[in-house]
Amino acid sequence: MNALSIYSENNKNMSAGALYDSFIYPPFSLFDARAGWWQARKKQWIKLGIDSGEGRKDHLMSGYANALTTWKRVKNSPTPQVDACFSKSIFDPVLTELMYAWFSPVGGKTLDPFAGGSVRGVVAALMDRKYTGVDISTTQIDANELQASRFKFKHKPKWKEGDAARLHKAGIRGKYDFIFTCPPYGDLERYSDHPDDISNMPYEVFLGAFRQSVIDAARFLNDDCFACFVVGDFRDKNGTNRGFVADTIQAGRDAGLNFYNDAILLTQAASLPLRARGPFEGSRKLGKTHQNVLVFCKGDPKEATRKAGEVRPYSFPKN
């Protein structure tokens, strides 16, 4: 049997079915975001109105800022005009749901030092987690606040402007029960011109700042708790793989976190079939269609599991 077929909704394998019932999704080290089950659940999340500016390019960023200004002018309009103004991808809400349900307690506090879009904050709040995200970009934070204003929450997600390497200065206090973040992948995508935006830095400088941010976040994590970093490898200008995934594992270890689970998120192929030929024929580069989901534990994983409690899916409203 093909390894992926166990994920297929056509495969009514009894034991895999029971794993869906118990854990939302089979707790294997491959998350198949291409499969029907995943896509259908993602649609349910998107139907709720979650949205994020993640993945936008600079020109789209300014589109977003303009849209935001427009919306602020027509604030009383029932339908904010933001979505229609540009196309964008979002941080995967299904992955988000799984990470909260598997590795964080209901009512617990999540810290996200590189918040990016609103998805991790909104899903946290819908799943009764208290979320605080930090981002260097005020535009991003304004966009997230706007997104969040569309929902009613028990615990409203919070975003703070600041540098992930100086979380105390950004207003972070107390201890957290989960770290969940997705940092820039080096300069693969430049998010802003802010001098502390690590996506603007040469790799060695980027890595120093990133490592400092992992140390800083780990200090705010309670003992016996999990941390999840979603990262991806990328290449330098000569085409050599930087090894960012390995560097993230090392950064976690150096911050006192035990590297615990390594999973692959198999992402949509999208236009890859059209783009893959040249790089492969010219230099044997493989088209990248995955990201790495790295889970660490500070302290004892059994105690962290006890604290995270029973796995409960988000229960979507009936209509």
Ligand X SMILES: C[S@@+](CC[C@H](N)C(=O)[O-])C[C@H]1O[C@@H](n2cnc3c(N)ncnc32)[C@H](O)[C@@H]1O
Which residues within the stretch 191-230 sit at the binding site for ligand X (CB under 6 A)?
191-192, 196-199
Neighbours of 122 (CB within 10 A): 27
Our CB check for ligand X shows the closer of 197 and 224 to be: 197
Angle at 275 between CA 231 and CA 28, to 5 degrees: 40
Size of the site for ligand X (CB under 6 A): 22
Q: Which stretch binds ligand X (CB under 6 A): 70-78, 178-186, 263-271, 297-305?
A: 178-186
- SS3 (DSSP) at 177: strand
* Contact call for residue 117 and ligand X (CB under 6 A): yes
* Shortest distance in whole angstroms from residue 174 CB to ligand X: 19
Out of 61, 134, 143, 225, the only residue in the binding site for ligand X (CB under 6 A) is 134
Most distant CA pair in the chain: distance in Å? 57
| Dihedral sign of CA atoms 301, 291, 245, 115 in order | negative
Identify residue 307 by its one-letter amino acid code. K
Q: Which stretch binds ligand X (CB under 6 A): 184-192, 235-243, 274-282, 292-300?
A: 184-192
- Which strand (E) or helix (H) includes residue 2? none
Residue with tokens 């997600």: 157
Our CB check for ligand X shows the closer of 197 and 247 to be: 197
Q: Which stretch binds ligand X (CB under 6 A): 4-12, 42-50, 130-138, 303-311?
A: 130-138
* Contact call for residue 233 and ligand X (CB under 6 A): no
* β-pair partners for 263: 293
* Contact call for residue 186 and ligand X (CB under 6 A): no
Out of 164, 221, 265, 297, the only residue in the binding site for ligand X (CB under 6 A) is 164
From the list 113, 116, 205, the residue with the least C-alpha distance to 165 is 113
Which residues within the stretch 72-91 sit at the binding site for ligand X (CB under 6 A)?
91
Residue with tokens 């802010």: 194
Which residues within the stretch 17-46 sit at the binding site for ligand X (CB under 6 A)?
none
Our CB check for ligand X shows the closer of 249 and 304 to be: 249
**CA–CA separation, 48 and 299 (whole Å):** 36
Q: Please write down the HEC assignment for all residues of 115-152.
A: CCCCHHHHHHHHCCCEEEEEECCHHHHHHHHHHHCCCC
Our CB check for ligand X shows the closer of 26 and 63 to be: 63
Out of 71, 114, 234, 314, the only residue in the binding site for ligand X (CB under 6 A) is 114
Binding site for ligand X (CB under 6 A): 52, 54, 91, 114, 116-117, 134-137, 140, 163-164, 182-184, 191-192, 196-199
